[in-house]
């Protein structure tokens, strides 16, 4: 047999599967026989796994780039006319390759975690290796035996079937790989938590070790969700970015649990509290990443009947999730007595209370989304009837809780640990309350009466003012005590309190995202009209005129393009050129929207059907403040990067840090 590149990739992946078992055995024996050499062998096996899976992924990418249609996965998801960008990224364009990407990320993170923490956590290291190797084994066994991307195809077709046209977009290069970074990133905190539970050492060691891992995974998952929303916004042509689709929900659930975990770990660091809560959150977050992978990649979301056509894959993934759940929650039950907190809540007006309330509400939202996503599947299993749970359910149940969380976001950074007197709380929040009151007055003045709408707008104003006030407080205290300029004080504070100010910047970014969601959700304008060349429609003060309709051709598709001119107050501004494309190999039509992003909102044009007499159905949207969502993500990324850049404090530091000036809130 000739060893082709694809076959080499299959051999490398199969060998990685074997090395996972070897690493597990060596790590366990290193504990039982007190053998450092066996532990080193287990570590080296995981390093080798990263090399092997890198080779496996590279050979599959090579098959796409060279259009090797002897590989069935390539023939099903590529063709000779597919642009190079999409051949490079088609690896994760379908089921088999995306799971290989999952396994490669896990191998990368495993190697990084072992390299970074090998000396600092020697007693936990055997169980960290066992946990990560077991997860990797589970995915590799699925890839090798049930979802093999290297299978051969005979006879070899002259051309491939083509990548799904909806995926032929630059978004494919960013959204899935970044989203998977977030999914897989939570495996490392999970492994540290499992190791601490097995050892019975459930104090601060694992929390301190995984803080940055958790923040990194959360940031990647946030970015992946935002990328997905933006991709849906400009690709699908319905004028929105979030539809409570089950695939969207699959990524939202671990994000919610991860957000709760990120905040709750702070309480264990500062107050030695929430031990049980934190291990529960870290295990739940990781399980939700597995559930998200299972829902999206098993076929169950398409149809329970389609899932039943391939019960091997579905049953395996369900069994894998069940085993992880039993192990994770079983360890919590086993170590329940050791997980008792050293401290307790001393006041309802304390930072730890606010963080606890925040975490509980986030988990309630996650549970609500989980029920809304799985309930239709359960109904179809037991009754055979198809049921859809859509936006009305989620908006009715979830949005009020998210508004409450928006207000809570202002409280947790401002209120000190242990407690704060009610009168002092009122004094501290005088400015935010005044801004919220002005927002309510403005809403009533323009005719907004819906309580939830008014509260959401007030919450944006309240939290933005409180967050900016917290930032100003720290800078002002340094300015007064250090005798430096305001700009110099800001530089000192950002340098010395990166974690705290990074968190405040993240909160500011989340407020901007909330403002964008409120603006685009409540004040969107839409016009659906039939137009001939020269016809115009007015929307949000703009005049949109259809100027031309023309055919377009490309090696990979053919289609039609409409050209609209946009004017305001009689002055021409710009043109919009939406398209409809037809991909002949897949026999699939897609809509390519045209949008112009402005500070106040987006003007968004969609090309509909044409009639034989030359009339075009066009949909024009005005989406106020939607760009604030994408700008908010950039602010979140800035804040997360600042927080991640803070050096980890070690016990070796002999010099005590200088006391903070009075007025600087404690981290």
- pLDDT of residue 579 exceeding 80: yes
What percent of the chain lies above the pLDDT cut of 90?
A: 68
pLDDT mean over 66-94: 92
CA proximity to 254, closest of 219, 209, 297, 221: 221
Q: Which pLDDT does position 172 carry in this prediction?
A: 85
Pick the range with the lowest mean pLDDT from 72-76, 293-297, 431-435: 293-297
548 compared with 473, residue with greater pLDDT? 548
Q: Which pLDDT does position 298 carry in this prediction?
A: 67
User: What is the overall mean pLDDT for the chain?
Assistant: 90
Q: Which pLDDT does position 416 carry in this prediction?
A: 87
pLDDT mean over 538-565: 94
Q: Which pLDDT does position 473 carry in this prediction?
A: 86
pLDDT digits (tens, 9 = 90+) for 587-604: 899 999 999 998 889 999
CB neighbours of residue 159 within 10 Å: 13
- pLDDT of residue 391 exceeding 60: yes
Q: Which pLDDT does position 207 carry in this prediction?
A: 92
Pick the range with the lowest mean pLDDT from 275-284, 301-310, 360-369, 634-643: 301-310
Q: Which pLDDT does position 524 carry in this prediction?
A: 92
Q: Which pLDDT does position 651 carry in this prediction?
A: 40
- pLDDT of residue 507 exceeding 50: yes
Pick the range with the lowest mean pLDDT from 241-245, 490-494, 568-572, 648-652: 648-652
645 compared with 282, residue with greater pLDDT? 282
Q: For the chain, how big is the Rg over CA atoms in Å?
A: 27
Kindly list the domain boundaries of the chain, sorted by start residue. 1-168, 173-409, 429-521, 525-624
pLDDT digits (tens, 9 = 90+) for 207-225: 999 999 999 999 999 999 9
Q: Which pLDDT does position 655 carry in this prediction?
A: 41
Confidence of residue 648 (pLDDT cuts 50, 70, 90): low
Q: Which pLDDT does position 300 carry in this prediction?
A: 67
- pLDDT of residue 83 exceeding 50: yes
CA proximity to 511, closest of 642, 354, 649, 405: 405
- pLDDT of residue 341 exceeding 80: no
pTM here? 0.93
Alpha-carbon distance of 39 to 25, in angstroms, equals: 10
Alpha-carbon distance of 206 to 192, in angstroms, equals: 6
Q: Which pLDDT does position 578 carry in this prediction?
A: 96
- pLDDT of residue 306 exceeding 70: no
- pLDDT of residue 472 exceeding 70: yes
Is 346 in a helix, a strand, or coil? coil
Supply 562's token pair.
């409409």
Q: Which pLDDT does position 457 carry in this prediction?
A: 96
Cα dihedral 549→553→558→562 (10° resolution) = -20
pLDDT mean over 303-307: 45
Q: Which pLDDT does position 308 carry in this prediction?
A: 45
Q: Which pLDDT does position 164 carry in this prediction?
A: 86
pLDDT digits (tens, 9 = 90+) for 87-143: 999 999 888 999 999 999 999 999 999 999 999 999 999 999 999 999 999 999 999
CA proximity to 62, closest of 14, 19, 107, 8: 8
Pick the range with the lowest mean pLDDT from 152-156, 558-562, 620-624, 662-666: 662-666
Q: Which pLDDT does position 619 carry in this prediction?
A: 96
- pLDDT of residue 169 exceeding 50: yes
Pick the range with the lowest mean pLDDT from 315-319, 346-350, 573-577: 346-350
- pLDDT of residue 271 exceeding 90: no
Phi, psi (5° rounding) for residue 563? -115, 120
Pick the range with the lowest mean pLDDT from 59-63, 302-306, 527-531: 302-306
Confidence of residue 656 (pLDDT cuts 50, 70, 90): very low
Q: Which pLDDT does position 650 carry in this prediction?
A: 43
Q: Is the peptide bond before 14 cis (omega within 30 degrees of 0)?
A: no
Distances (CA, A) of 445 to 153, 185, 449, 627: 68, 47, 9, 26
CB neighbours of residue 571 within 10 Å: 7
Name every residue whose Cβ is closer than 8 Å to that of residue 238 and which is 6 or more positions away in sequence: 606
pLDDT mean over 254-270: 94
Q: Which pLDDT does position 649 carry in this prediction?
A: 52
pLDDT digits (tens, 9 = 90+) for 427-450: 889 999 999 999 999 999 998 889
Q: Which pLDDT does position 492 carry in this prediction?
A: 83
């Amino acid at each position: 047999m000739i060893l082709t590149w694809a076959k080499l990739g299959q051999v490398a992946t199969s060998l990685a599967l074997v090395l996972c078992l070897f690493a597990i055995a060596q790590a366990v024996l290193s504990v039982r026989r007190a053998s450092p050499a066996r532990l080193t062998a287990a570590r080296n096996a995981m390093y080798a796994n990263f090399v092997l899976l890198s080779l496996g992924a590279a050979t599959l990418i090579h098959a796409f780039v060279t259009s090797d249609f002897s590989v069935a996965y390539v023939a099903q998801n590529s063709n000779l006319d597919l642009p190079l960008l999409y051949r490079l990224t088609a690896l994760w364009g379908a089921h088999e390759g995306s799971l290989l990407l999952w396994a490669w990320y896990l191998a990368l993170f495993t190697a990084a975690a072992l390299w970074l923490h090998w000396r600092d956590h020697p007693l936990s290291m055997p169980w960290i290796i066992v946990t990560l190797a077991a997860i990797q084994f589970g995915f590799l066994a699925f890839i090798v035996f049930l979802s093999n991307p290297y299978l051969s195809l005979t006879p070899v077709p002259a051309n491939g079937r083509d990548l799904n046209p909806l995926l032929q977009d630059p978004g494919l290069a960013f959204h899935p790989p970044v989203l998977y970074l977030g999914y897989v990133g939570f495996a490392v905190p999970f492994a540290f938590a499992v190791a601490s539970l097995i050892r019975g050492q459930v104090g601060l060691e694992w929390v301190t070790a995984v803080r940055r891992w958790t923040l990194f995974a959360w940031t990647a998952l946030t970015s992946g969700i935002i990328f997905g929303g933006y991709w849906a916004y400009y690709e699908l042509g319905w004028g929105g970015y979030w539809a409570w689709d089950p695939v969207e929900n699959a990524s939202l659930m671990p994000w919610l649990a991860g957000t709760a975990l990120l905040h709750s770990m702070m309480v264990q660091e500062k107050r030695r509290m929430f031990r049980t809560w934190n291990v529960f959150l870290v295990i739940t977050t990781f399980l939700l990443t597995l559930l998200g992978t299972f829902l999206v990649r098993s076929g169950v979301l398409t149809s329970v009947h389609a899932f039943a056509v391939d019960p091997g894959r579905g049953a395996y993934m369900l069994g894998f999730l069940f085993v992880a759940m039993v192990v994770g929650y079983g360890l919590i039950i086993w170590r329940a007595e050791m997980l008792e907190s050293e401290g307790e809540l001393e006041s309802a007006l304390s930072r730890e209370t606010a963080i606890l309330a925040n975490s509980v509400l986030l988990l309630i939202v996650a549970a609500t989304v989980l029920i809304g996503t799985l309930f239709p599947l359960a109904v179809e299993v037991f009754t055979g009837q198809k049921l859809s749970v859509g936006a009305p359910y989620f908006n009715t149940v979830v949005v009020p809780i998210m508004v409450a969380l928006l207000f809570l976001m202002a409280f947790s950074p401002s209120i000190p640990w242990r407690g704060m007197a009610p009168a002092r709380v009122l004094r501290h929040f005088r400015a935010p309350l005044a801004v919220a009151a002005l927002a309510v007055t403005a809403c009533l003045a323009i005719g907004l009466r819906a309580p939830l709408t008014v509260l959401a707008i007030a919450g944006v104003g309240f939290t933005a003012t409180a967050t900016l006030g917290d930032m100003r407080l720290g800078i002002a205290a340094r300015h007064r005590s250090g005798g430096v300029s305001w700009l110099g004080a800001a530089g000192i504070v950002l340098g010395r309190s990166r974690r705290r100010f990074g968190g405040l910047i993240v909160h500011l970014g989340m407020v901007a995202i909330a403002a964008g969601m409120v603006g685009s959700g409540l004040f969107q304008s839409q016009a659906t009209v039939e137009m001939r060349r020269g016809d115009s429609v007015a929307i949000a003060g703009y005049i949109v005129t259809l100027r031309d309709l023309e055919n377009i051709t490309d090696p990979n598709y053919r289609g039609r393009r409409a050209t609209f001119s946009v004017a305001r107050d009689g002055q021409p501004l710009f043109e919009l050129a939406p398209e409809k494309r037809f991909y002949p190999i897949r026999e699939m039509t897609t809509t390519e929207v045209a949008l112009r992003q402005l500070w106040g909102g987006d003007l968004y044009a969609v090309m509909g059907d044409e009639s034989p007499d030359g009339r075009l159905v066009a949909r024009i949207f005005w989406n106020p403040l939607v760009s604030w969502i994408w700008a908010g993500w950039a602010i979140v990324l800035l804040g997360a990067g600042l927080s991640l850049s803070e050096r980890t404090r070690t016990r070796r530091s002999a010099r005590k840090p200088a006391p903070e000036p009075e007025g600087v809130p404690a981290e």
